[in-house]
């Protein structure tokens, strides 16, 4: 025991002597360690930013099933693959992977010839057997390696327009794409990340990371996990303008149109004067900073846009007089204003205008799985690139039935617009259709929202 104690004392005094002789070295070593640790924590986002600067890492909001890769945004799919046909800015259908096509006299049978000597992104030869479409009322048949026949249940002169979606061969192989899919990260059967590698040396790789909410995506940008993101929040976009390492690009999203849909099943709302009063009650200047105001369900970028429609004007006195004349005591509690929670601010603004003009409305919220009864419904209308809006306004379609809209002239013009492939005839029909819809509106078309791309310099 005595020997053990002496050994402990020996090493103890030896340690103290070492500290006394090297105390300055030990102190400065500790100080440098602390500074280094703090610096790493502080500048790590900037280090990450530098590391991803040469890569394009784009954040997107959305949830996509891993088994349905072809449901990803078209912007991504177009980088991976090509389509059978394409459409130019004048609405003319052009061949792409298809070389030619013919149709029967009744326009119910279409035969497409496929381009030869084209490779899939995995290096294999592309043939008609790689083509797959899931139209509910169209039968597709492969006649040989380079010929496909489509059999329609009804005539449709504009059918080639519906073949412009990029072709994806399961699981995620493209055809003659600018990029190939290098990696797909999946969690719980939901796509988390898609990494694209270029098929040309002069193109940089792209990574897409998906987030469940815009807030989480913005946090990822702040932490330099992504270097580009589209956002809809104007206030947040403006905040990034003060960042020296970021730029903000403003654009208009012409693919969706905020609309206040009328339920024409309500006899009062079906009256044209009543809808005119609703239109007159709204303060449109409240939306000028969040979107481009409109007068039509077709965007001004469309080749069939009617630029001569009457512009909407606010006239609260007219609205008050009309509502006072038309609304009886028994009607006063019957106006349900349905919307979704994410549109609450806009719903509050519109409902406040309507109440101010004497129209009693109660705002209620819907989910994407249920649609309760409503008199007005505020929601975005998805706008296709082609002016054909048959599925929205034709009285035989489910959406028109949902809002009780029926206009025989609109029906006829929509039928004419899709019964010919001649652009001049289609344009004439759609110009007239927009005028008719403006005179008998199924909805109050409000604005195309501004969107903002925040990008690291």
Over the stretch 118-139, which tens digit does the pLDDT of each residue have?
999 999 999 999 999 989 899 9
Structural domain includes residue 135: yes
**Domain at 130, CATH number:** 3.90.76.10
d(CA 437, CA 5): 101
pLDDT, average across residues 261-271: 96
Over the stretch 81-119, which tens digit does the pLDDT of each residue have?
999 999 999 999 999 999 999 999 999 999 999 999 999
Same domain, 244 and 137: no
Q: What's the pLDDT at 28?
A: 55
Q: What's the pLDDT at 259?
A: 98
Same domain, 99 and 138: yes
- For residues 179, 183, 185, 186, the Cα torsion angle rounded to the nearest 10 degrees is 90
d(CA 452, CA 289): 13
Give the predicted TM-score (pTM) of the model: 0.83
Hey, how many other C-beta atoms are within 10 angstroms of the C-beta on 265?
A: 15
CA distances from 362 to 347, 353, 354 (A): 10, 13, 10
Q: What's the pLDDT at 15?
A: 53
- Secondary structure in 3-state letters for 158-173: CHHHHHCCCCCECCCE
Q: What's the pLDDT at 48?
A: 46
Q: Which DSSP category does 117 fall into? A: S
d(CA 378, CA 259): 6
pLDDT, average across residues 176-195: 97
Q: Percent of the chain, pLDDT > 90?
A: 81
Q: What's the pLDDT at 219?
A: 96
Q: What's the pLDDT at 134?
A: 87
Q: What's the pLDDT at 51?
A: 46
- Residue 367: band (very low, low, confident or very high) from pLDDT cuts 50, 70, 90: confident
- Residue 372: band (very low, low, confident or very high) from pLDDT cuts 50, 70, 90: confident
d(CA 121, CA 178): 9
Q: Does residue 209 or residue 20 have the better pLDDT?
A: 209
Same domain, 304 and 360: yes
Average pLDDT in the chain: 90
Closest CA to 438 of 297, 318, 314, 301: 297
Same domain, 219 and 115: no
Structural domain includes residue 436: yes
Same domain, 10 and 127: no
Q: What's the pLDDT at 366?
A: 87
Q: Percent of the chain, pLDDT > 70?
A: 86
Over the stretch 5-46, which tens digit does the pLDDT of each residue have?
555 455 555 555 655 665 655 555 555 554 555 444 444 444
Q: Look at residue 240 and tell me whether its pLDDT is greater than 90.
A: yes
Residue-number span of the structural domain to which 213 is assigned: 56-66+184-251
pLDDT, average across residues 202-209: 96
Structural domain includes residue 4: yes
Same domain, 300 and 340: yes
Over the stretch 386-406, which tens digit does the pLDDT of each residue have?
999 999 999 999 999 999 999
Q: Could you give the number of structural domains in the chain?
A: 4
Over the stretch 290-301, which tens digit does the pLDDT of each residue have?
999 999 999 999
Same domain, 267 and 395: yes
Residue 86 corresponds to which tokens in the numbers above? 């394409």
Same domain, 212 and 268: no
Structural domain includes residue 175: no
Task: Classify burial at 321, counting beta carbons within 10 Å of its beta carbon; exposed 0-12, middle 13-18, buried 19 or more.
Answer: middle
């Amino acid at each position: 025991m005595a020997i053990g104690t002496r050994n402990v004392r020996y090493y103890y005094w030896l340690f103290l002597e070492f500290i006394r002789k090297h105390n300055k070295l030990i102190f400065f070593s500790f100080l440098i360690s602390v500074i280094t640790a703090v610096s790493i924590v502080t500048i790590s986002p900037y280090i990450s930013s530098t590391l991803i600067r040469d890569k394009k890492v784009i954040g997107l909001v959305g949830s996509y099933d891993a088994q349905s890769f072809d449901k990803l945004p078209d912007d991504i799919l177009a980088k991976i693959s090509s389509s059978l046909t394409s459409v130019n800015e004048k609405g003319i259908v052009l061949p792409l992977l298809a070389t030619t096509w013919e149709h029967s006299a009744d326009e119910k049978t279409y035969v497409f010839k496929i381009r030869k000597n084209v490779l899939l992104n995995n290096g294999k030869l592309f043939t008609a057997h790689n083509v797959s479409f899931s139209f509910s009322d169209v039968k597709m048949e492969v006649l040989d390696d380079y010929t496909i026949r489509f059999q329609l249940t009804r005539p449709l002169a504009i059918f080639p327009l519906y073949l412009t979606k990029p072709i994806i061969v399961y699981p995620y192989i493209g055809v003659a794409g600018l990029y190939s899919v290098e990696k797909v990260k999946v969690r719980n059967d939901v796509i988390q990340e898609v990494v694209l590698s270029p098929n040309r040396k002069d193109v940089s790789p792209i990574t897409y990371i998906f987030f469940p909410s815009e807030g989480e995506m913005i946090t990822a940008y702040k932490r330099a996990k992504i270097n580009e993101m589209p956002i809809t929040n104007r206030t947040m976009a403006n905040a990034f303008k003060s960042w020296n390492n970021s730029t903000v690009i403003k654009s208009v999203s012409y693919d969706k149109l905020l609309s206040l849909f009328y339920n024409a099943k309500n006899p009062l709302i079906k009256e044209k004067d009543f809808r005119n009063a609703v239109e007159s009650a709204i303060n449109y200047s409240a939306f000028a900073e969040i979107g481009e105001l409109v007068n039509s369900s077709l965007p001004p970028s469309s080749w069939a846009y009617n630029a001569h429609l009457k512009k909407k004007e606010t006239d609260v006195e007219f609205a008050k007089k009309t509502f006072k004349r038309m609304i009886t005591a028994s009607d006063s509690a019957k106006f349900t204003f349905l919307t979704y929670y994410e549109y609450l601010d806009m719903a509050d603004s519109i409902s406040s205008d309507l109440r101010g003009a004497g129209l009693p409305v109660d705002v209620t919220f819907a989910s994407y799985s249920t649609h309760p009864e409503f008199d007005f419904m505020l929601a975005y209308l998805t706008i296709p690139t082609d002016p054909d809006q048959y599925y929205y306004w034709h009285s035989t379609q489910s959406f028109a039935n949902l809002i009780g809209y029926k206009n025989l002239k609109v029906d006829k013009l929509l039928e004419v617009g899709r019964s010919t492939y001649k652009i001049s005839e289609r344009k004439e029909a759609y110009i007239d259709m927009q005028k008719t819809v403006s005179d008998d509106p199924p909805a109050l078309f409000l604005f195309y929202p501004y969107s903002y791309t925040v990008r690291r310099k």
